[in-house]
């Protein structure tokens, strides 16, 4: 019963992130160079104990959904899969001294702002570098691409931080 | 065998990662080709429905701007209905030189139908509505602007006569080319795409070249293949050449914004200011072409099986 609830919850998260991204966020552009990769929240905020293979598959599915809407073939999928592959390594690097608690989650209130911002910043940066360099397919307009990475990075990080502050529980649930 | 399974279990993350990356990159790399009728694009039925719904919502907020755009276009169309200044000014008869054997050297008069006045012919406007290129009106329901390869989605498809490879115009100029189409939706490669190239000419002196987008500024494009010895003027009008069967001749593309001569090239580097504003692209027309199969056949017969150069 608990597993079914978990699966339904994740499916709901997938639908919400997709719809919000497609309907609202994808229309927003910052300084003509920054996009908000809001849908990354789906992959970033998965539970800590999610198996690597499941993370990779979910990221691939999410990326492919975005590719369908943006007509980019497999560009979003490639970058999102890379993100999901790097995520466990970053989690391992940021592990607290006594390991993760069973009740821990990717949540700015539980883990503290320093932990959360490092986690978010590093992963989003990796994703954006991969995404924009792949999209370009070469090193022309390198400066402009870096500007795109920078603006998008700031935009995505701020948006996901706002999502965390507004919609994530402040107290741990009783187990 | 057991070792193999252990190995697979140990590196399953890496393996799955590799497989998924290869699939994604394969889809990404092959998505640019015109031939591929893929499921994974915004012309598929489900994505089309979602995007159409999104456009319905956004339409409401754009009503003012849309009305302005339609008004401007209506005005232009109405203007085309007026006959040009010169159309009714033909003389009833024209004087021609005397007959060779006429010693009195009397001028002769002929009816213009037999021998049209060349001065008036030069001033005549080209046919604004070329019957060989019927237009299919369409609404843009999805559009990207600032990627390296941009696409937009239209709410017309195979059922409306839209086929892959057809050209797309807006009131203000050329905007792209259809890439894939399903029954009721179509995805088009924008002019703002690294692989789009439109055959063009300078209207003033008919020098032809090709327009492509370098990938940075959505209001500017490059015009290639203009030889160095040609004179250029800032503000020159650049139109389609009609050398391929995608666009009729004389559709506006943009105006020359600047040009520089680079030391190691035989051609001018010409920057164009594009006529179409891609940031608020709303109503466009898909150009169908009645004579295209015949034309392609004869060109394929005449030319050796060439590469990209012939397909422009």
Contact B133/A at CB under 8 A: no
Q: Is there a contact between A64 and B13 if contact means CB atoms under 8 Å apart?
A: no
CA A131/CA A149 separation, integer angstroms:
9
CB-based contact B189:B176 (threshold 8 Å): yes
Mean pLDDT of A52-78: 86
CA B280/CA A88 separation, integer angstroms:
42
Mean pLDDT of A27-31: 77
Who contacts A25 (Cβ-Cβ below 8 Å, separation ≥6)?
A36, A38, A159
What pLDDT was estimated at residue A107?
80
CA B284/CA B139 separation, integer angstroms:
6
What pLDDT band is residue B306 in, cutting at 50, 70 and 90?
A: low
CA A156/CA B186 separation, integer angstroms:
30
% residues pLDDT > 90 (chain B): 4
CB-based contact B183:B158 (threshold 8 Å): yes
What is the chain B residue with the closest CA to A25?
A: B54
Beta bridge partners of B220: B273
Helix (H, G, I), strand (E, B) or coil at B151: strand
What pLDDT was estimated at residue B1?
72
What pLDDT was estimated at residue B32?
61
Domain residues for the domain of A107 are: 2-167
Q: Let me know if domain B135-311 sits in CATH 2.40.10.340.
A: yes
Q: Residue B261 pLDDT > 80, yes or no?
A: yes
E strand spans, A43-168: none
Q: Give, in order, the Cα–Cα distances in Å from A152 to each of A34, A102, A128, A147, A159.
A: 4, 33, 8, 8, 10
Contact A2/B at CB under 8 A: no
What pLDDT band is residue B45 in, cutting at 50, 70 and 90?
A: low
CA B187/CA B177 separation, integer angstroms:
9
CA A154/CA A36 separation, integer angstroms:
9
Beta bridge partners of B153: B142, B187
SS3 content of chain B, % helix, strand, coil (to 5): 30, 25, 45
Kindly report, residue by residue over B144-190, the tens digit of the pLDDT.
Answer: 887 888 889 988 888 888 888 888 888 788 899 999 888 888 999 99
Q: Confirm whether A173 is domain-assigned.
A: no
CA B248-B252-B255 angle, 5° bins: 145
CA A17/CA A165 separation, integer angstroms:
16
Who contacts B175 (Cβ-Cβ below 8 Å, separation ≥6)?
B152, B168, B169, B188, B190, B191, B276, B278, B281, B284
Contact B146/A at CB under 8 A: yes
More confident of the two residues B249 and B42: B249
Contact A81/B at CB under 8 A: yes
Buried b / exposed e across B1-22, counting CB within 10 Å, b at 16+? eeeeeeeeeeeebeebbeebbe
Which positions in chain B touch A64 (Cβ < 8 Å)? 24, 27, 40
Query: Cα-flanking dihedrals φ and ψ of residue B175, to 5°?
Result: -125, -20
Radius of gyration of chain B (CA): 26
Q: Residue B135 pLDDT > 70, yes or no?
A: yes
What pLDDT was estimated at residue A124?
92
CA A21/CA A41 separation, integer angstroms:
10
Mean pLDDT of A59-82: 86
B176: left (phi over 0), alpha (psi -120 to 50) or beta: left
CB-based contact B137:B293 (threshold 8 Å): no
Q: Confirm whether A175 is domain-assigned.
A: no
Contact A22/B at CB under 8 A: yes
Contact A28/B at CB under 8 A: no
Helix (H, G, I), strand (E, B) or coil at A173: coil
Nearest to B237, CA basis, from B253, B221, B223, B226: B253
Q: Give, in order, the Cα–Cα distances in Å from B252 to each of B82, B127, B217, B298.
A: 20, 14, 19, 27
Q: Which of A134-138, B64-68, B140-144, B219-223 has the highest mean pLDDT?
A: B219-223
What is the chain A residue with the closest CA to B151?
A: A71
Kindly report, residue by residue over A89-109, the tens digit of the pLDDT.
Answer: 888 888 877 777 777 778 888
Q: Please give the interface size between A and B, counted as residue pairs whose CB atoms are below 8 Å apart.
A: 109
Contact A137/B at CB under 8 A: yes
Q: Is there a contact between A78 and B12 if contact means CB atoms under 8 Å apart?
A: no
Q: Residue B87 pLDDT > 60, yes or no?
A: no
Write down the ipTM of this complex. Answer: 0.73
Q: What is the dihedral of CA B289, B295, B297, B302, to 10 degrees?
A: -150
Q: Is there a contact between A22 and B54 if contact means CB atoms under 8 Å apart?
A: yes
Domain count of the fold of chain A:
1
Which positions in chain A touch B24 (Cβ < 8 Å)? 60, 63-64, 74-75, 77-78, 81
Mean pLDDT of B23-47: 65
What is the chain A residue with the closest CA to B143?
A: A70
- Partner residue facing B24 (CB), from A78, A136, A144: A78
Q: Residue B305 pLDDT > 80, yes or no?
A: no
């Amino acid at each position: 019963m608990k597993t079914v609830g978990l699966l339904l919850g994740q499916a709901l998260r997938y639908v919400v992130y997709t719809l919000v991204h497609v309907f609202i966020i994808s229309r927003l552009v910052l300084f003509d160079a920054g996009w908000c990769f809001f849908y990354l929240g789906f992959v970033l905020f998965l539970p800590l104990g999610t198996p690597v293979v499941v993370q990779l598959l979910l990221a691939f599915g999410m990326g492919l959904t975005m590719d369908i809407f943006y007509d980019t073939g497999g560009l979003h999928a490639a970058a999102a899969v890379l993100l999901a592959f790097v995520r466990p390594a970053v989690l391992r690097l940021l592990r607290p001294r006594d390991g993760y608690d069973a009740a821990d989650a990717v949540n700015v209130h539980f883990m503290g702002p320093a932990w959360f911002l490092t986690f978010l910043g590093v992963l989003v940066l990796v994703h954006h570098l991969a995404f924009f360099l792949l999209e370009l397919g070469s090193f022309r307009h390198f400066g402009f691409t870096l500007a795109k990475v920078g603006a998008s990075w700031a935009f995505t990080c701020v948006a996901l931080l706002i999502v965390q502050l507004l919609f994530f529980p402040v107290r741990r649930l009783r187990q | 065998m057991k070792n193999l399974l252990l190995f697979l279990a140990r590196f399953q993350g890496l393996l799955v990662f590799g497989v998924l990356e290869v699939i994604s990159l394969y889809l990404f790399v092959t998505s640019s080709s015109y031939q591929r009728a893929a499921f994974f694009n915004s012309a598929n039925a489900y994505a089309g429905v979602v995007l159409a719904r999104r456009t319905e919502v956004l339409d409401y907020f754009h009503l003012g701007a849309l009305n302005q755009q339609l008004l401007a276009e209506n005005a232009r169309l109405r203007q085309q209905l007026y006959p040009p200044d010169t159309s009714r000014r033909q003389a009833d008869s024209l004087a021609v030189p005397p007959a060779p054997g006429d010693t009195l050297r009397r001028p002769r008069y002929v009816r213009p139908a037999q021998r049209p006045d060349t001065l008036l012919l030069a001033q005549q406007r080209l046919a604004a509505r070329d019957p060989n290129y019927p237009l299919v009106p369409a609404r843009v329901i999805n559009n990207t602007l600032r990627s390296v390869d941009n696409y937009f989605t239209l709410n017309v498809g195979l059922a409306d006569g839209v086929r892959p490879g057809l050209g797309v115009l807006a009131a203000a100029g050329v905007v792209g080319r259809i890439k894939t189409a399903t029954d009721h939706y179509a995805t088009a490669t924008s002019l703002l795409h690294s692989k789009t190239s439109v055959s063009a000419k300078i209207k003033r002196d008919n020098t032809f070249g090709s327009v492509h987008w370098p990938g940075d500024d959505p209001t500017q494009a490059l015009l290639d293949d203009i030889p160095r010895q040609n004179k250029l003027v800032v503000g020159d009008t650049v139109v389609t050449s009609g050398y391929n069967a995608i666009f009729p001749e004389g559709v506006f593309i943009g105006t020359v914004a600047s040009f520089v001569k680079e030391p190691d090239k035989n051609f001018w580097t010409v920057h164009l200011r594009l006529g179409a504003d891609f940031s608020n692209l709303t109503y466009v027309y898909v150009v169908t072409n009645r004579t295209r199969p015949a034309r392609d056949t004869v060109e394929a017969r005449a030319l050796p099986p060439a590469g990209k150069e012939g397909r422009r």
